[in-house]
Structure 1
Amino acid sequence: IWQAAASQVFFSLSISFGSLIAYSAANDFHNKFFQQMCIVVLCDCFTGVFAGFAVFATVGFLATSLGEDVETYARSSGPSLAFITYPQALAKMPASPFFSVIFFLMLLALGLGSQFASTDVPITALMEFFPSYAKRRTFLVIITCTLFYLFSLPFACPVSIVYDQ
């Protein structure tokens, strides 16, 4: 179980995607790296535990309000949890329109933040390899976003479900 927990920490920090490395390229050379690393890891772990409590409490609320077993809803994960199970639970809570809007705004903010991080990685890499591109950062951002958009078009089609599996 500790190996699974450690792999979850690595996955949630997105260490292998390069965004933290790209962000650290802007730091001073004599930066307090170890202190910042500990703060980021502890905040990530705390956020994961807190989110787990929130999600499982909401799933438990849905299961008990429908009179069903919690295990049937606890097995849902990924898109089905975010777009089916969780909205069902929010619909049964008081002030459901408010909390539903807040929930989907949070999903939008998380998605945009992830896209900013993944867009910054190739831009930073190109600027590090080719220092002459540093003056053309805006041009690199436009080119990278255009390429990401073009590469994402096939996934907006109905056949993308086949690619996802």
Structure 2
Amino acid sequence: MLSTTVPYRALPVLLPALLAGALLTGCSAGHDTASTSPSAPAPAPTSAQTIDSTPKVRDALAVLQATYNDGCTTPDNCEYFLTRVHDNLEDLDASMKADPQGKSHFATPLAWMDTLHGTLGKDVSFPNLEKHQKLLLGTRDKINTWMKSHPEDYR
């Protein structure tokens, strides 16, 4: 897995750049502060912005389906693979819950994911994912089959 932390040796290079960016941002606001109020509410998003920001079930399913090209073929890959399937299922869960059709439309797959959540609990470590690998992959497979019988949701 890739690390998202910055190595210490990169700090001397990144820190001055980050500080310069912060200083420039602070100066770019200009001197006219009367026209903007820090307590003024942000404008409400338009309906187009709301729709654009809603996760799409189709996209989340496509990412999940890409896991069919991978597997626990090697010990090094197994952790990556199971974590990926879990994360992709979480994204699909969120997109189904945010879908304009409502949670009731996706009641069956959401129930399967609830069962998975109940079994895994908050422990999404590799040993726990590996222990429940059959349920994890079975949930993915059942959802994929269900979605194929509902093409209007992913095409």
> TM-score if structure 2 supplies the norm length?
0.26
The structure with higher relative contact order (CA 8 Å, sep 6+) is 2
User: Which one has the largest radius of gyration?
Assistant: 2
Please, what TM-score do these two structures have when normalized by structure 1? 0.25
